Amino acid sequence: MAPSERNTNGNSSGSRFFYGWRVVVAASVMGSIGVGVTISGFSVFFLPIREELGISATAMSLILSLAWAQSGLIAPLTGWMADRIGTRILIFWGGMITSLGLIALSFGTNFWHLLILYSLIIAIGRTMAITPTLIITINQWFVDKKAIAMAIVGTSFTAGGAVLIPLLSIASASVGWRTTIFLCGGVVALITIPVTLVVRSRPEDLGIQPDGLVNGGYIDGNLRGPTKIGTRDFTVKESVSTRAFWCLLVGLALRVSVADVIVIHQIPMMVWKGVSEQTAALYMSIAFALMIPFRLSLGVVAQYIAPKKILSGAMGLGSLGTILFALLDGSKAVSCLVLSLAIIEGISVLNWIAVGDYFGRARFGTISGIMTIFYSSGALIAPVISGWLFDQTNSYFWVLLITTGLLILSSVAFGFASEPNLRATRTKSQMPL
């Protein structure tokens, strides 16, 4: 069989499309709803929950930050499980746990209920079902078209926020945040089942290889011919011994810290600038809508420009947006914050494209999980400190000054993340860690 041929489970005459694209669609559906409800859209409930339950900005920030940090703590375990038992089962059970957590959260009456349900139960479910599990799945299915596939799934995360933020805001104002969150739990459960029926953890489960090629195109995970980036599998030990790993980790940690601060505090920040809650929610929706062309274009651009260069430049532009938001007033200030968030989050999928390109498929889940547990500390600390600074000063000025500095440092770190070199002296007998 010629290298370009496909079997009937992949992309042959008996099957019109490579099955991996069906996985992309299913992952996009899960990602758009899951991320839109539990991450980007959840900030809509920040002020209503605070007002009803009498929770301070610091405490509310702690709840949301702990959720993201908790996701980071279990991400290595999730990645390890994904590498060994597959992502399909994780998506199903994670979706169900998330659904039950949201339904229970709608009955919460105090700080501790919110802390346990959102920061523990929902965080665990979300990590199992959505991020990083969906990204791990896509990395398994694609090598040549990985940037495009990840860009599509990453765009779905953004599209979910763009569509759901105004809907959640309207629903919360109309029927209350409790009923809205309850309904969200039901929706997550309803989409989990069909998504799980479509998704397969690896192309090997269907007797094919990444991008639909059969054995004539790949040998032990590598393309025939010259070694190609993304086809070399590093072990965990080899990965953490490279400069690229630590530069990507530092850049990622700083970027995520700033993004979490803005996403959690975006509506309160805009209210601080004199914008109403409903208008702020609309601006937030615009920010996520602007991420869509960013992420869609990355699938093409990342094939010609090194992801590290795009990441470095984007962090520089993001820092300009945050400092201008601090210095300006009114719609000009809000527009700068919207553009900054759109850039910072719009290129986020490039983090994982770079990791997959540099370190391969075999241990992607474990490697990305290790990175996640490290950067989750920033996701925990930064939003809480931001809430505390606002409580102390009744201003976000110092928060924005600090985030600007962090974005500049992130830009520098990404700039030094050069491609690692896996020596050809490795033998097939070497077992990955």
Give per-residue pLDDT as tens, 245-276. 999 999 988 998 898 888 878 888 998 988 88
Whether residue 8 lies inside any domain: the answer is no
Whether residue 13 lies inside any domain: the answer is no
Specify the CATH number for the domain of residue 263.
1.20.1250.20
Whether residue 431 lies inside any domain: the answer is no
Higher pLDDT among residues 24 and 41, named by residue: 24
pLDDT in tens, 9-32: 455 434 467 899 999 999 999 999
Residue 226's pLDDT band, with cuts at 50, 70 and 90, is: very low
Q: What are phi and psi of 9, to 5 degrees?
A: -90, -10
Residue 97 pLDDT more than 90? yes
Residue 214's pLDDT band, with cuts at 50, 70 and 90, is: low
Whether residue 12 lies inside any domain: the answer is no
Higher pLDDT among residues 126 and 13, named by residue: 126
Q: Provide the number of structural domains found in the chain.
A: 1
* pLDDT the model gives residue 299: 66
Residue 88's pLDDT band, with cuts at 50, 70 and 90, is: very high
What is the rounded average pLDDT for all residues in the chain? 82
Whether residue 203 lies inside any domain: the answer is yes
What is the domain range of residue 150?
Answer: 19-207+223-415
pLDDT in tens, 337-377: 999 998 988 888 788 888 888 887 778 878 887 887 777 77
pLDDT in tens, 327-337: 998 888 999 99
Whether residue 150 lies inside any domain: the answer is yes
Whether residue 125 lies inside any domain: the answer is yes
Among 204-208, 374-378, 405-409, the least confident range: 374-378
Whether residue 123 lies inside any domain: the answer is yes
